[in-house]
Chains A and B, each alone.
Chain A
Amino acid sequence: EAGVAQSPRYKIIEKRQSVAFWCNPISGHATLYWYQQILGQGPKLLIQFQNNGVVDDSQLPKDRFSAERLKGVDSTLKIQPAKLEDSAVYLCASSPGLGPEQFFGPGTRLTVL
């Protein structure tokens, strides 16, 4: 069974630029999560989708971050414009439903200069 795929693995941009990350969850997984992991910290949930609907985006900075999950499969997370403090690893995870197990992708490391 293929795992959660993310791209790109690394991205370096300058502040005020835009960036987008892509996630392909495990086939059949209804729930998809985006986390932000700042160096030295645990992951923080940004947004959670159930199929193609948002169930929690309370910690998503909506003035600059947006995410979508068209057709309930792949998802993209966008930052526009980026700030220095957005430098982090962005992790995507998926789970079959509402149960406890989440499966994580390798993450995208974003550096904002």
Chain B
Amino acid sequence: GEDVEQSLFLSVREGDSSVINCTYTDSSSTYLYWYKQEPGAGLQLLTYIFSNMDMKQDQRLTVLLNKKDKHLSLRIADTQTGDSAIYFCAESTTGGYQKVTFGTGTKLQVIP
């Protein structure tokens, strides 16, 4: 079945850039996502990229997709303390409906 892997933890200083990495196994993935989860809250969709794209930028967020290596990354520029959360990578395939598979999440700690 599909598998999505992420490193468990990342610590950065406020103002620095954060890069969170993800690898996936399903070569037929249609969309790849980044979700953010703050303590006690549900998941918030940050951004997603269609599988035929290499890059997507949205304000402080840059998503890079290497489809050959099945590698996805999320770069957060000028990381703030409010960015501290768990970030989930996810992928979906379309077979009449979207079925989303999530990674285990990367906990981002921003040090003031």
Give the size category of B's interface with A. 20 to 34
Beta-carbon contact of B97 and A55 below 8 Å: yes
Mark each residue of chain A from 65 to 93: 1 if its CB lies under 8 Å from any CB of chain B, else 0: 00000000000000000000000000101
Q: Which residues of A contact B42 (CB under 8 A)?
A: 4, 91, 93, 104-107
Nearest-neighbor residue (CB-CB) of B105 within chain A: A42
Interface residues on A, range: 20 to 34
Identify the closest chain A residue to B43 (Cβ). A104
Among B41, B42, B90, find the residue whose CB has the most chain A CB atoms closer than 10 A: B42
Please give me the residue from chain A that is nearest to B30 by CB atom.
A100
| A101 within 8 Å of B (CB atoms) | yes
The residue of chain B having its C-beta at the shortest distance from the C-beta of A107 within the complex is B42
Interface residues of chain B, those whose CB is within 8 Å of chain A, are 4, 30-31, 33, 40-45, 48, 88, 90, 92, 94, 96-105
